Amino acid sequence: MALGEEVSNKQIILKNYVTGFPKETDMEMVSSSIKVKVPEGSKAVLVKNLYLSCDPYMRLKMTKPETPTYFTEYPLGSVITGYGVSKVLDSEHPNFKEGDLVWGTTRWEEFSLITMTKMLRKITYTDVPLSYYIGILGMPGISAYVGFFEICSPKKGERVYVSAASGAVGQLVGQFAKSIGCCVVGSAGSKEKVDLLKSKFGFDEAFNYKEEHDLDAALKRYFPEGIDIYFENVGGAMLDAVLLNMRDHGRISVCGLISQYNKDKPEGVHNLFCLVSKRIEMKGFLVFDHWHLYPQFLEATIKRIKEGKMVYVEDIVEGLENAPSALIGLFTGKNVGKQVVVVAHE
Amino acid sequence: MALGEEVSNKQIILKNYVTGFPKETDMEMVSSSIKVKVPEGSKAVLVKNLYLSCDPYMRLKMTKPETPTYFTEYPLGSVITGYGVSKVLDSEHPNFKEGDLVWGTTRWEEFSLITMTKMLRKITYTDVPLSYYIGILGMPGISAYVGFFEICSPKKGERVYVSAASGAVGQLVGQFAKSIGCCVVGSAGSKEKVDLLKSKFGFDEAFNYKEEHDLDAALKRYFPEGIDIYFENVGGAMLDAVLLNMRDHGRISVCGLISQYNKDKPEGVHNLFCLVSKRIEMKGFLVFDHWHLYPQFLEATIKRIKEGKMVYVEDIVEGLENAPSALIGLFTGKNVGKQVVVVAHE
């Protein structure tokens, strides 16, 4: 397409605020048009979106909250925003030029005019799959890195438990933990995922939480001496069972609570007294506080990928029209690995 | 009495394991006898108990737990153990001699033969009320000190909230917080206690939580800009309301959860997602990990007491026979300040 041309632009908008479980009908694909040209003097960037990311936090932005939270809701009728990998078609911003590959906050549409350019990063290493920049080399990657190394202060030999362990973040936490000599057990929701944890990501043990009617008993089986570090992705009943199985001076890094995002009222967690009796530290984090670590994280992780010391499994869906169902699938555990939507191949 | 004499020894024993709210009939006063002489070569100490401490954790030791916890249960029929201030009548231990005043773990009886002498400390400063050694200068004191300064990393100007604020620990947390220039609000369960918080302990504000049907609204009233530090003594619904009102990067020091100790199943806490969205650190602690700080704590606190910069309110009950009702009173909030039982005046 030529610069200045008016092109059609398919978009996914939020149609209804979501209550309970999200439905495909809560989103809608609409067709718009966009001029392939950045308004002069605007410092904006016009991109063609290649890969879009499905992340659990996006569900939180689909609820109309009674009080404002960190996760500001999507305005009703607006195009959904999220992480993506994109190609610059035109730029009025000095840091970006036509042809650059970038990743960061974009929108669920074919072409985006991005004015919030501080949320964009130029991709310099292009000898890895570009979709990695919304996974292992993007927000999930640095979440795993910060949440494990910075929040948990892990030591060699410690016993680490990861829930949602085959997901975008969990698979990386397990590999980081193994890289420093921890003993790692993960849980996931299918035999296929459990097999992946052991065969592909090198977890010492793994189990299917859906087959365990007693999570406390399951954890006691895999951690007869207790858990030093819990990387929390799910919340609810799992957290309650974990608290009973933590060791003294254990650490819990709270990355997310995906089991709770579709509930009107989150489940209660009952065993918090364990925080006292076992002197546990439980700490939530958001990657946004830790972007200064990104350069060191990127260098280290790229190196490990190239050396074959880290792997990443993605679940790739083709077509923007399939993005809503892919996002919803996160909450039923349909995805195996990081959920990626391909909007266009370069 | 003469050394070697056989004397009668009233004792309070645990008669039944407690379920739900403790009752006076769960304990019983019995009469025994004891020889006022330490067996030779035993390294034990024989003491006359002067002051006994009523502390919430003791309730946890009255439950027969299904699984062992840090708080090992009292054996049924045994004399209740707890903190006390005592006078040494005889000693075979090189660190203690007749006439010494000591504080530490003793038993709910008139005279105790103490073999676990590592839990005893000699009292060197006797120009303060001796009962202070089970309060401001004892376990509650160092709990407040460690739980506030070590766990919360407080900074001048931060907004601090203390629940059970007129209790043995809470009243000290408030004063510590004021001493470094924090803004402190406390809650308690009666008008008398609320008045004490403001008039005696220097809290900036205080409220009666029993008069607030909406704890979230109450906290928003006292903390329109949110809470930086929460010193947690109660748990349950209060913790849920606090989580909604914490500021980003807030810290919660979990000292105890007294509202939960008489429940078969603790209440659920629902708002843990705030740990993520606000990047909150929540950490439990036990003083037992921090005794190395006791000397510096004691020096600093004695100095502040003598300068009139710290005060301490005790609720003193006379007579060992009244110890069970005094202990039970902690859970109805009957006590105003630190609950002390006088067994004998020196």
Domain assignment present for residue A25? The answer is yes
Domain assignment present for residue A90? The answer is yes
Kindly determine whether residue A277 and residue B239, on different chains, have CB atoms separated by under 8 Å: no
CATH number at residue A86: 3.90.180.10
Residues B219 and B101 in one domain: no
CA–CA distance, A176 with A179 (Å, rounded to integer)? 5
Residues of B in contact with A272 (CB under 8 A): 235, 239, 254, 257, 266, 269
Interface test mutation site (partner A, options B257, B276, B285, B286, max chain A beta carbons within 10 A): B276
Closest chain A C-alpha to B100 CA, distance in angstroms: 33
Domain assignment present for residue A16? The answer is yes
| pLDDT at position B194 | 98
Residues 6+ apart with CB under 8 A from B221: none
CA–CA distance, A11 with A32 (Å, rounded to integer)? 7
CATH number at residue B212: 3.40.50.720
| pLDDT at position B67 | 59
CA–CA distance, A316 with A51 (Å, rounded to integer)? 9
Confidence of residue A64 (pLDDT cuts 50, 70, 90): confident
Kindly determine whether residue A286 and residue B276, on different chains, have CB atoms separated by under 8 Å: yes
Asked whether the beta carbons of B307 and A304 are under 8 A apart, the reply is: no
Q: Count of alpha carbons within 13 Å of A252, Cβ hemisphere only?
A: 36
Residues 6+ apart with CB under 8 A from A206: A165, A185, A186, A187, A188, A194, A195, A197, A198
| pLDDT at position A211 | 97
Residues A23 and A148 in one domain: no
Residues A149 and A260 in one domain: yes
Residues B112 and B189 in one domain: no
The residue of chain B nearest to residue A289, with distances taken between CA atoms, is: B279
Helical ranges in chain B per DSSP H? 57-60, 139-145, 151-152, 170-179, 191-199, 215-222, 237-245, 273-277, 294-306, 323-329
A153 at the B interface (CB within 8 A)?
no
User: Tens digit of pLDDT for each residue in B26-41?
Assistant: 999 999 999 999 999 8
Q: Can you say how many angstroms the Cα of residue B316 is from the centroid of all Cα atoms in its chain?
A: 14
Domain assignment present for residue B306? The answer is no
Domain assignment present for residue A303? The answer is no
CA–CA distance, A113 with A116 (Å, rounded to integer)? 9
Residues of B in contact with A277 (CB under 8 A): 69-71, 284, 286
Nearest to B110 by CA among B15, B1, B228: B1
Kindly determine whether residue A272 and residue B281, on different chains, have CB atoms separated by under 8 Å: no
| CB atoms inside a 10 Å sphere around CB B39 | 13
**Rounded (5°) CA angle B160-B161-B162:** 120
Residues B282 and B143 in one domain: yes
A56 at the B interface (CB within 8 A)?
no
A254 at the B interface (CB within 8 A)?
yes
User: Tens digit of pLDDT for each residue in A302-322?
Assistant: 999 999 999 999 999 999 999
Which single residue is written with the structure tokens 């993506």?
A: A84
SS3 B18: coil
Residues B182 and B77 in one domain: no
| pLDDT at position B264 | 85
Residue B199's domain spans which residues? Answer: 139-288
Distances (CA, A) of B295 to A31, A247, B171, B225, B299: 72, 29, 21, 37, 6
Closest chain B C-alpha to A227 CA, distance in angstroms: 15
In chain B, how many domains are there?
2
Nearest to A276 by CA among B171, B233, B160: B233
ipTM value: 0.95
Kindly determine whether residue B282 and residue A281, on different chains, have CB atoms separated by under 8 Å: yes
Query: Which residues pair with residue A1 across a beta bridge?
Result: none
CA–CA distance, A297 with A147 (Å, rounded to integer)? 12
Nearest to B189 by CA among B326, B337, B339, B341: B337
Closest chain A C-alpha to B8 CA, distance in angstroms: 37
Residues B123 and B146 in one domain: no
Mean pLDDT over A100-108 rounds to: 98
Kindly determine whether residue A285 and residue B272, on different chains, have CB atoms separated by under 8 Å: no
A220 at the B interface (CB within 8 A)?
no
The residue of chain A nearest to residue B236, with distances taken between CA atoms, is: A270
| pLDDT at position A217 | 98
B325 at the A interface (CB within 8 A)?
no
Residues A34 and A153 in one domain: no
Q: Count of alpha carbons within 13 Å of A181, Cβ hemisphere only?
A: 3
Return the structure tokens found at A106: 């974009």
The residue of chain B nearest to residue A237, with distances taken between CA atoms, is: B268
| pLDDT at position A214 | 98
DSSP-assigned letter for residue A20: S
Say how many CB pairs under 8 Å bridge A and B. 102
The residue of chain A nearest to residue B265, with distances taken between CA atoms, is: A270
Q: Count of alpha carbons within 13 Å of A162, Cβ hemisphere only?
A: 35
DSSP-assigned letter for residue B109: B
Residues of A in contact with B281 (CB under 8 A): 281-284
Domain final residue pick, B243, B273, B288: B288
| pLDDT at position A99 | 97
Residues in chain B with pLDDT < 70? 66-69
Residues B148 and B261 in one domain: yes
Domain assignment present for residue B303? The answer is no
User: Tens digit of pLDDT for each residue in B201-235?
Assistant: 999 999 999 999 999 999 999 999 999 999 999 99
Domain assignment present for residue B61? The answer is yes
Kindly determine whether residue A254 and residue B277, on different chains, have CB atoms separated by under 8 Å: no
What is the average pLDDT value for chain A, to the nearest integer?
Answer: 96
Distances (CA, A) of A317 to A131, A287, A325, A339, A342: 12, 26, 10, 8, 6
A71 at the B interface (CB within 8 A)?
yes
Residues B165 and B262 in one domain: yes
CA–CA distance, A216 with A223 (Å, rounded to integer)? 10
| pLDDT at position B208 | 98
Residues A64 and A166 in one domain: no
Residues of B in contact with A282 (CB under 8 A): 275, 281-283
Q: What per-residue string of b and e applies to A249-279 under the rule 16 or more CB within 10 Å gives b?
A: ebbbbbbbbbbbbbeeebbbbbbbbbbbbbb
| CB atoms inside a 10 Å sphere around CB A342 | 18
Residues B98 and B210 in one domain: no
| pLDDT at position B39 | 94
CA–CA distance, B74 with A134 (Å, rounded to integer)? 55
| Radius of gyration in angstroms for the set of CA atoms belonging to chain B, rounded to a whole number | 21
| pLDDT at position B2 | 83
The residue of chain A nearest to residue B57, with distances taken between CA atoms, is: A277
Nearest to A282 among B266, B278, B282 (CB): B282
User: Tens digit of pLDDT for each residue in A163-217?
Assistant: 999 999 999 999 999 999 999 999 999 999 999 999 999 999 999 999 999 999 9
Query: Above pLDDT 70, what percent of chain A?
Result: 99
| pLDDT at position B296 | 95
Mean pLDDT over A256-276 rounds to: 93
Mean pLDDT over A91-96 rounds to: 96
Domain assignment present for residue A216? The answer is yes
Residues of B in contact with A254 (CB under 8 A): 272, 275-276
Residues of A in contact with B266 (CB under 8 A): 270-273
